[in-house]
Each structure stands twice: as C-alpha cells, then as structure tokens.
C-alpha cells in the first residue's frame, strides 16, 4: 500500500448495511447499501457505492469516484452520481473521522440542481457510519441521508 493511503486505510474493504433518507420535499425512505473502497498502489482510493430498495431489491442510487488523501492531512473526493451530478468534496481526515464539504457541484441538463453537499464519515472497527447533508433548491444545507454499514471483507 502507498504510504499516502495509510491514514485512511481503515476505509478499505466492502461494507454493507442500511440507511435512511429525509428531506423537506420528499417522504422519508430507507434503503440497503453497499460501499467498496479499494486501491491499485497509487495514493488514492477507488470508491463505488450502490443502494437498493429494501422491499424489491431494485437499484436506487449509485455513486462512484476517487478519494484523494493529501499530505497536509486534508482529503479531496471526486464523485459522479447516477442521477446526473458530479461533485468535488474537500475537507479533513482526523483519525477515524472524515468530514468534507463540496467545493463544486455540477448537474446535467436533465437532472435536479443540487447546490451543495457535505459528507461526514467515521469508522469504528468494522462499523462505518455516515451522514450526508444536501442543499437543494431553496432549502438550506441539512441532513439528507444517514447510514451504518458493516465491513464484509
């Protein structure tokens, strides 16, 4: 493993669990979720996430991209989303906690305009917890998703 990855090596593996979503514009919802982090020797993590409907097992959301820990203790995340959005997150790694805010979000012409996103991850052994905040349309940045995943491998 590249030395530059050691600080976030606790993310590596396949994680599975469930999450819950909420937002003023929609009904509350729940979902199954799988997250994978892996590397190829470079100082960055490959990331792929997918969620599914807990009743039908049908796919809901997917996002994929790269996590780039920096030498100064900061981290950059570059992501693409199935619903037609890309985002750049920047923030910090503090031990087992990672917190980032969007530097830029761009949506496709057919997609809804997400204004900003913030992400909070923490790992405790084989448990990964996260919160995602979203600013959408005229709504303030606020909690949209939260989930708890268990490391499978």
Instruction: By CB under 8 A, name the binding residues for its own copies.
Output: 40-42, 44, 46, 48, 50, 58-59, 62, 64-66, 68, 70, 76, 78-82, 84-88, 90, 103-104, 106-111
64 or 129, CB closer to its own copies? Answer: 64
Q: How far is the CB of 125 from its own copies (least distance, A)?
A: 28
22 or 38, CB closer to its own copies? Answer: 38
Q: How far is the CB of 137 from its own copies (least distance, A)?
A: 18
66 or 129, CB closer to its own copies? Answer: 66
Burial of 117 (0-12, 13-18, 19+ CB in 10 A): buried
- List the one residue out of 66, 70, 58 whose CA is nearest residue 29: 58
3-class SS of residue 6: helix
How far are the Cα atoms of 5, 10, 50, 124, 127 from residue 81, in angstroms, in the given order? 24, 24, 10, 27, 24
């Amino acid at each position: 493993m590249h030395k530059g990855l050691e600080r976030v090596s606790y993310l590596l593996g396949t994680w599975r669990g469930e999450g819950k979503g909420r937002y003023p514009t929609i009904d509350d919802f729940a979902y199954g979720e799988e997250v994978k982090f892996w590397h190829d020797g470079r100082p960055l993590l490959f990331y792929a996430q997918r969620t599914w409907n807990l009743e039908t097992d049908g796919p809901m959301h997917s996002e994929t991209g790269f996590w780039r820990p920096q030498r100064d203790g900061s981290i950059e995340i570059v992501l693409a989303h199935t619903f037609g959005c890309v985002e750049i997150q920047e923030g910090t790694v503090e031990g087992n906690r990672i917190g980032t805010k969007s530097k830029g979000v761009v949506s496709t012409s057919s997609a809804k305009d997400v204004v900003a996103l913030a992400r909070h991850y923490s790992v405790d052994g084989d448990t990964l917890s996260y919160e995602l905040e979203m600013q959408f349309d005229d709504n303030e940045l606020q909690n949209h998703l939260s989930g708890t995943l268990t490391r499978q491998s």
